Amino acid sequence: MTQTDKNIKKYPAPEHIAIIMDGNGRWARQRGLPRTAGHKAGGEAFRRIANYCRTLGVKYLTVYAFSTENWKRSQEEVSGIMKLLARYLDEALRDMEKNAVAFRFFGDLTRLSPELQKLCREAEERSSRYHEVQVNFCLNYGGRDELVHAAKAFAQEVAEGKRQPEELTEQLLSSYLYSAGVPDPELIIRPSGEKRISNFLLWQCAYSEFVYMNVLWPDFGPEDLDEAIAEYHRRNRRFGGV
């Protein structure tokens, strides 16, 4: 039995894992490469981990790919990231049958190029028949933006007389989020050594376990995920109880 097989037995994987894919730029700098080379390597790490999550039986994998704040970066870097995303989605559409993964996109996609928006819509529509594994891509995503977007949608329905303000509950508010229908992540992993949330899943992380790791995202491999899951199992989740 390999170490991985042992871990699958010892530590059942959480149903929903979320990852802040951070450290691409530092990885590239360490090698004297342009930042986009780091993002390319980060894309490969994502493929590795998505495949491994399937082996582990993880149902939902949510990845932070581009934040509402990442537009502050140089135009060259932003367009490099967008190109990589388009290429990835093109491939995913081609290999859809083989992979049988459902795609969802969390974030305000209207700011993306029409081509990229179309790829996202197509990937979401064409993969909606798969139910075993779901990858949620956070693209132009911000936790605060998500809450504003939800509040506006609810207010609009109130204005139209479809809803009453008193009806609003935590559950109902959740249904207006980009993540509607997806259970909250049990585990949120941030590689790269930073210990902050950076506007990721602000509502959904209420009771998530956070695991911060010193590895840079392009170097992140199955053994790192094993380690994060093992750490998750060492935690004592009380949810406010005793």
Non-local (6+) Cβ contacts of 198 within 8 A are: 20, 22, 64, 67, 69
Q: Which residue is nearest to Mg ion (CB)?
A: 22
Active-site positions read 22, 70
Of 173 and 215, the one with the shorter C-beta distance to ligand IPE is: 215
- 6 part of the interface to ligand IPE, by CB under 6 A: no
Question: Which 195-214 positions form the footprint of ligand IPE (CB under 6 A)?
Answer: 196, 198
- 22 part of the interface to ligand IPE, by CB under 6 A: yes
- 136 part of the interface to ligand IPE, by CB under 6 A: no
Non-local (6+) Cβ contacts of 122 within 8 A are: 89, 93
Stretch that binds Mg ion, among 17-25, 37-45, 60-68, 96-104 (CB under 5 A): 17-25
Stretch that binds ligand IPE, among 21-29, 88-96, 161-169, 224-232 (CB under 6 A): 21-29
Please classify residue 152 by burial: count the beta carbons closer than 10 Å to its beta carbon, then call 0-12 exposed, 13-18 middle and 19+ buried: exposed
**Quick one: which of 18, 21, 182, 188 contacts ligand IPE (CB under 6 A)?**
21
Using DSSP, state whether 112 is helix, strand or coil.
coil
Integer CA distances (angstroms), 20 to 52, 90, 161, 199, in order:
17, 23, 39, 10
Of 7 and 136, the one with the shorter C-beta distance to ligand IPE is: 136
Give the distance, in angstroms, between the CA of residue 38 and the centroid of all CA atoms in the same chain: 18
Enter the tokens of residue 82. 């967008």
- 194 part of the interface to ligand IPE, by CB under 6 A: yes
The answer to whether the beta carbons of residues 219 and 162 sit under 8 Å apart is no
Of 64 and 154, the one with the shorter C-beta distance to ligand IPE is: 64
**Quick one: which of 7, 22, 49, 61 contacts Mg ion (CB under 5 A)?**
22
Q: Which does 237 bind (CB under 5 to 8 A by kind): Mg ion, ligand IPE, none?
A: none
Enter the tokens of residue 79. 């367009």
d(CA 225, CA 223): 5
Using DSSP, state whether 73 is helix, strand or coil.
coil
Non-local (6+) Cβ contacts of 36 within 8 A are: 28, 76, 77, 80, 81, 84
- Taking the complex as a whole, the smallest distance from the CB of residue 90 to ligand IPE amounts, in Å, to 19
d(CA 150, CA 98): 35
| Per-position x/- string for 90-129, each x denoting binding to ligand IPE as judged by CB under 6 A, each - no binding | ----------------------------------------
Question: Which 55-84 positions form the footprint of ligand IPE (CB under 6 A)?
Answer: 64-67, 69-70, 81
The residues binding ligand IPE (CB under 6 A) are 20-26, 64-67, 69-70, 81, 192, 194, 196, 198
